[in-house]
Amino acid sequence: DRMVLARKFGAAVVALTIDEVGMARKPEDKLRIAARLVEFACNKYGLPQSDLMIDPLTFTIATGAEDDRKLGQWTLEGIRMIRDAFPDIQIVLGLSNISFGLNPAARAVLNSVYLDLAVKAGMTAAIVHVSKIRPLHLIAPEEVKVAEDLIFDRRTEDYDPLQALLALFADRKASEAVKRKQAETAEERLKDRIVDGDRKGLEADLAEAMQTMAPLDIINTVLLDGMKVVGELFGAGKMQLPFVLQSAETMKAAVAWLEPHMERAEGQQRGTIVLATVKGDVHDIGKNLVDIILTNNGYRVVNLGIKVPVADMIEAARKEKADAIGMSGLLVKSTVIMRENLEEIARAGLDTPVLLGGAALTRNYVEEDCVAAYG
């Protein structure tokens, strides 16, 4: 039996909210069938809920038919209901179905807006064409508004968002998406490249910037200014995580190109810092950038790598007489591990200053929960 094999080998299972009556359209039907799927796959066959991927179905909202107007909103409501009832369940969508029937330019905008809304509702995976998804900060506000109006069926007597969307994109091709006007100076172009995750022509702009700036200054000001904007956009919900990673990869490529041209700070070392990505997390782009910047500013860095147990951090901090410990991680679960690590470090009797970094961290969580854990 396939369920037995899936459980035995740890495979994930995708299950759609379709029953004997047909495809679930209303949110309560999506939840009802999801509960049946959990009962069948998890309770009967022992599949962990985290390995069950429920697809609550995405239907096009571009037909104009009255019966289809609420389908996008209903799927979002269904996602929330399934997420609330089964917190460990994975939820997946064939996302681009939402815009079926529209022209490519309109589809790109509607898909991008719907992706953002679905993630906020609790979706954990999506089938998408990544090159046709755009971060929200690069979509004109009036386009986002019309797409949201269509999704939530905000019609009035004299306004139909479907007709407005059709008119807005009537003569536009997908390749004609609004693009940022190229900045005049290399420094401004580099900052834009970091924000947009644009690596084409990166080396030429770096070489031009080096004519007037030292490599380390380019990193510490221009490139990090770009990453600061990325962080602000991510925090405001205007940039989805894949685009944050794209920006980080561009930053990594820029630093790698500049590194051979850097002169390390001379004189007495400014201190020793132990860096590590926490247990269960393999993301290290940000940590490695911090390593390069600190090293080239005169610090001695002991980089322990990825998936590092807290015991290894404590041992390294003692052995290397570290002035600080830096813990990094990208995943949401890593923020919990950081707090647990702080408790363990405190129990070990260390009072070494600790730096925390990662996309999922918030200032309040660090300054309240994490500080209390290390108290």
Active site (annotated) includes residue 50: no
- 28 CB contacts (<8 Å, ≥6 apart)? 81
Task: Return left, alpha or beta for 295; rule: phi > 0 is left, psi -120 to 50 is alpha, else beta.
Answer: alpha
CB 126 within 8 A of CB 115: yes
Q: Which residue has the tokens 């953002």?
A: 116
Catalytic residue chosen out of the listed positions 99, 160, 283, 291:
283
Q: How far is CA 184 from CA 137, 189, 208, 247, 261, in A?
A: 21, 7, 12, 21, 24
Catalytic residue chosen out of the listed positions 281, 284, 291, 328:
281
Q: Which residues, listed in sequence order, are joined to residue 67 by a DSSP beta bridge? A: none
Active site (annotated) includes residue 281: yes
**Residue of 167, 162, 58 whose CA lies nearest to 111:** 58
- H helical segments located in 141-280: 141-151, 161-168, 186-196, 202-209, 215-217, 224-235, 241-258
Catalytic residue chosen out of the listed positions 96, 112, 328, 334:
334
Q: How far is CA 170 from CA 103, 107, 154, 162, 251, in A?
A: 8, 12, 21, 12, 37
Active site (annotated) includes residue 283: yes
**Residue of 315, 351, 302, 310 whose CA lies nearest to 334:** 310
CB 50 within 8 A of CB 90: yes
**Chain centroid to CA 69:** 29
d(CA 323, CA 27): 54
Q: Catalytic amino acids?
A: 281, 283, 334
